[in-house]
Structure 1
Amino acid sequence: MQIFEVSEKRLKRILINHRFTLFLLLVSIIELLLRYFLRNFVTEDYTIFLQSWFKTIKHMGGVIALKGQVGDYNILYQFAISLLTYIPIRNLYLYKLLSTIFDFLMAISASYLTVRLMNTSEDENKKIFALTYALVLSLPTVFFNSGLWAQCDSIYTTFILLSLLMLIKEKYVYSFISLGVAFAFKFQTIFIMPFFLFVWLIKKRIYIWHFLIIILTFWLSGLPAYIFGRDLLAPFKIYLNQTHTYNHLFMNYYNFSGLIGAKGNTPQNFYQLSKAFILITMLVLIIGYMYLLYIDKFSNFSLIGVATWTIYTCVVFLPSIHERYAYPVDILLLIIAIVNKKYLIVAVPELINTFLSYDRYLFKNTPNIVILSYIVSRAVLNCRFMAV
């Protein structure tokens, strides 16, 4: 009996001493199982778009398909999908697997960014890292996005987080390279660009040529396609074409455009009001930045707050914002709420709002558009709360 007691005590001591590693391992296993059990969920996006794109790329010979445009994603994501066509697994699972891998990379990036902002003791850093890692992976909009929807928003968000991490570490070249990669995966990376222009104004060691790194990185992302004869301006043309795809102000995400209500969400109103919404967005950003320029010194936390507010402002006031475009906002709001609990008052309503917008698309539920749009629009206008 005494031998068993000694062994049990030893086991407990081992578990406690390795609690950080064991916690990460258990969370990772549970999160993988969660996504595994969602693997057969099929959405309209998959049946109408993703499935046919995959089959077309495979039929055209995998990577050889890069000689032409398939779907509306840019070349780097098309290249990733072309590589997946060589794996003899159902393409639905391959889409979800790719996004799931980046779910975990995004969680790791978010955890490092949070730890950097906290800058506490080693033991405390481990706790913060583990908490952030678990919460990011457990957000419904994260595992719904990859596990149910087979969407790729965790990919470009990972590189946005890395860009911000490199920024506060003052490794500016790497920051702008990461931003270029994020932009190569998704056009909505542009929502954070006003923030980097603001940082250019306040940081002495950031120069105009840093922005050329973004363009060069983005252009180089098309290299696999150039090899097969694609136009050297193809990556730019793909995004230019995307800007003419939608003709409704409200595209499921509850924002300022939702205040017009379901009946006002017509193509006619889009053509009449969309440019006004863009100008309103610019005005809100300019007013906010003018206020912020009177702050003498920005902490790293303040910079991340401004970055969050910038993207949040864009998704709240711009027209034709889809439910998934707020994905980076949700991750950044979670990070700053972990660092400072007072930001929960902004983070929680936004996370609920995004989840409800997912719910509207995935399960066809219809919450009150105007009420939710009012709540989110009011939250984003609190510039001081987000930045100080």
Structure 2
Amino acid sequence: MRWSVIALIVVAAIAIRLPFLHFQTLDYQKFLSRWYDTLDQGGFSALKHKFADYNYPYLYLIWVLTALHIPSLIGIKAISIVFDVVLGFFAYRIAALRTQNFWIRALAFALVVLLPSVVANSAYWGQADAIYSAFALGGVYFLMRPNPLSDGLSRSDAWWACVFFGLAVSFKLQAVFIFPVLIWLVLRRYLPWYSLIAIPVVYLLADIPALAVGAPVKTVLSVYLDQADSNKSLTLGAANLYQLIPISGDVTWLAHAGIAAAALVIIAFLAWSWFARPGVTATSILVVTTAAAVIVPFLLPNMHDRYFYMAEVLTVVMAFYLPMRYWIMPILVQAAAIGVYHSSLTGDQGRGFGGMNGGGPGTMGQNGPGTPPTGQTTGAAGQSANGQHDFRGGGPGSGSPEQRGFTADHRQGGFGGGGRRAGSAYSSGRGDTALTVYASFMAAAALGMIATVVQTCRRRT
């Protein structure tokens, strides 16, 4: 019966996703499909060229699609949908650490795989956020597993947790949002410091296949540095703090202040934990991890619309460990996520959810809500007449590698005139009134998470 219930949930999740599988967003047409074409034409050895700046493990998965002759649109979305189920699996396992009631565990699984933002991210947008988040959630699961022999983790669970975190950061840099929990657990002598070695080791091992076919070492090791330097806006469609601050001009000082604020919040928590010595429990580990996933991207500048993905999942999982009133957290975060996704998928992504001027399959609407104004410039090579990037050619020998492979995270800004700009100065990037409302939801969630951490960590059990 239990297997039947889980299978039914998976079937329902797939059925809900099916109507969205034929939609092609801007990210797919301009970037993901071209990465597929490059690997399809050049084979695995095409990885020696820099045609994309997602890290290599994701490109390996796309290459597998080409080797199996799976169509690009369906295949790219199918990869993410598979990891939606993996997310649900780890939500089930974490709930199982709390209760033996199958129905509660099944509910955790169902809520995660059926979350509107999770469905939209994989089936509609075709993004890879489920992949790194699934590995991150797996790492959290191993951190939370009880050790009957001591107060700390078992050695095997410590290593497995860090292996999973290494896999997470190998796919997306955004996995580091929750890494403060590792520092906390090392300081509290719950997690052996030497187990952290597994994270860079796994990351480097994941890049070996690309190095083996001739990718330059400098290129391989600088993927995330290139990503960090590519955008200079306080917010790129994210429902973070900077949607709430009406400011324009060169706001580099505010970007630096936001980075400092995020660092100070982490340091303040670590210092408080060191002196107050609150209990380290499965619940406190989950709550602190969730708080990091909410607060860190809320304070950091240069955040994209999808960078609260881990928060969207973790707040749901966390709610199974806390009293019923804490369900307000996932509700606030999901409300912000749905709004942001609607803004993106009806704006710079071209269409979606009945958006203005939305096109049918294979087309992109023009100048819908949030679409960049005509003639807006960026520092990237090539643009179409309406201000969108125009990279010509998708395969080897067709345009420069940089033109062929500009990353999907580097698409045109376009949230109320806050697009990307060349140079080192930060611009505001603020969106319309709707994005300000969504940011207020996330601000309430961030404040609520601070209170939740304090209340949870004060408990000794």
Shorter-chain TM band: 0.7 to 0.9
Q: 1:298 to 1:331 in 2, by over 3 A?
A: same
- The Cα shift of 1:232 comes to 3.6
**1:121-164 residue CA offsets vs partner (Å, 9 max, x unmatched):** 3xx1x112210111111101001001000001111011101111
Residue 255 (structure 1) aligned to one of 232, 235, 240: 240
Q: Tell me, in whole angstroms, the C-alpha distance in 2 between the residues paired with 1:112 and 1:204.
A: 21
User: 1:72·1:242 contact (CA, 8 Å) conserved in 2?
Assistant: yes
Given the two structures, how large is their TM-score scaled by the length of structure 1? 0.88
User: In the alignment, what sits opposite 1:329?
Assistant: 311
After superposition, residues 1-388 of structure 1 pair within 5 angstroms as 18=1, 20-61=2-43, 63-116=44-97, 118=98, 120-121=99-100, 124=101, 126-169=102-145, 170=153, 171-207=157-193, 209-261=194-246, 264=247, 268-269=250-251, 271-293=252-274, 294-340=276-322, 341-364=324-347, 367-382=433-448, 383-387=450-454, 388=456
User: Identity, % of aligned pairs?
Assistant: 26
Q: Tell me, in whole angstroms, the C-alpha distance in 1 between the residues paired with 2:181 and 2:262.
A: 13
Q: Tell me, in whole angstroms, the C-alpha distance in 2 between the residues paired with 1:283 and 1:45.
A: 35
Q: 1:72 to 1:205 in 2, by over 3 A?
A: closer
Structure number with greater CO (CA < 8 Å, separation at least 6) is 2
User: In the alignment, what sits opposite 2:352?
Assistant: none
Secondary structure, aligned partner of 1:287: helix
Q: Tell me, in whole angstroms, the C-alpha distance in 1 between the residues paired with 2:270 and 2:91.
A: 25
Alignment-mate amino acid for residue 115 of structure 1: A
User: 1:113·1:165 contact (CA, 8 Å) conserved in 2?
Assistant: yes
Q: Tell me, in whole angstroms, the C-alpha distance in 1 between the residues paired with 2:215 and 2:269.
A: 42
Secondary structure, aligned partner of 2:452: helix
- The Cα shift of 1:378 comes to 3.8
Mean alpha-carbon deviation: is it higher for 140-149 or for 196-205?
A: 196-205
Q: Tell me, in whole angstroms, the C-alpha distance in 2 between the residues paired with 1:133 and 1:258.
A: 32
Secondary structure, aligned partner of 1:260: coil
Secondary structure, aligned partner of 2:87: helix
Secondary structure, aligned partner of 2:8: helix
Q: 1:43 to 1:111 in 2, by over 3 A?
A: same
Q: Tell me, in whole angstroms, the C-alpha distance in 1 between the residues paired with 2:185 and 2:26.
A: 40
- The Cα shift of 1:281 comes to 1.0
Q: 1:36 to 1:372 in 2, by over 3 A?
A: closer
Alignment-mate amino acid for residue 341 of structure 2: Y
User: 2:211·2:220 contact (CA, 8 Å) conserved in 1?
Assistant: no
Alignment-mate amino acid for residue 55 of structure 1: D
Q: How many residue pairs were aligned?
A: 359
User: 2:182·2:191 contact (CA, 8 Å) conserved in 1?
Assistant: no
Q: 1:145 to 1:204 in 2, by over 3 A?
A: closer
**1:311-353 residue CA offsets vs partner (Å, 9 max, x unmatched):** 2111110001112111111111001112322211222111110
- The Cα shift of 1:291 comes to 3.1
Alignment-mate amino acid for residue 184 of structure 2: F
User: 1:110·1:132 contact (CA, 8 Å) conserved in 2?
Assistant: yes
Q: Tell me, in whole angstroms, the C-alpha distance in 2 between the residues paired with 1:291 and 1:378.
A: 22
Mean alpha-carbon deviation: is it higher for 63-72 or for 98-107?
A: 63-72
Alignment-mate amino acid for residue 443 of structure 2: S
Q: 1:279 to 1:306 in 2, by over 3 A?
A: same
User: In the alignment, what sits opposite 2:429?
Assistant: none
- The Cα shift of 1:46 comes to 0.8
User: 2:143·2:285 contact (CA, 8 Å) conserved in 1?
Assistant: no
- The Cα shift of 1:265 comes to 5.8
- The Cα shift of 1:386 comes to 3.4
Alignment-mate amino acid for residue 102 of structure 1: F
Given the two structures, how large is their TM-score scaled by the length of structure 2? 0.74
**1:262-286 residue CA offsets vs partner (Å, 9 max, x unmatched):** xx366x32x3321111001111222
Unaligned runs of 5+ in 2: 146-152, 348-368, 370-431, 457-461
- The Cα shift of 1:290 comes to 2.9
Instruction: Kindly report the root-mean-square deviation, in angstroms, between the aligned alpha carbons of the 2 structures.
Output: 1.7
User: 1:360·1:367 contact (CA, 8 Å) conserved in 2?
Assistant: no
User: Runs of 4 or more off by more than 6 Å in structure 1?
Assistant: none
- The Cα shift of 1:69 comes to 2.3
User: 1:39·1:93 contact (CA, 8 Å) conserved in 2?
Assistant: yes
Q: Tell me, in whole angstroms, the C-alpha distance in 1 between the residues paired with 2:333 and 2:50.
A: 35
User: In the alignment, what sits opposite 2:357?
Assistant: none
* Bigger share in helix: 1
User: 1:53·1:70 contact (CA, 8 Å) conserved in 2?
Assistant: yes
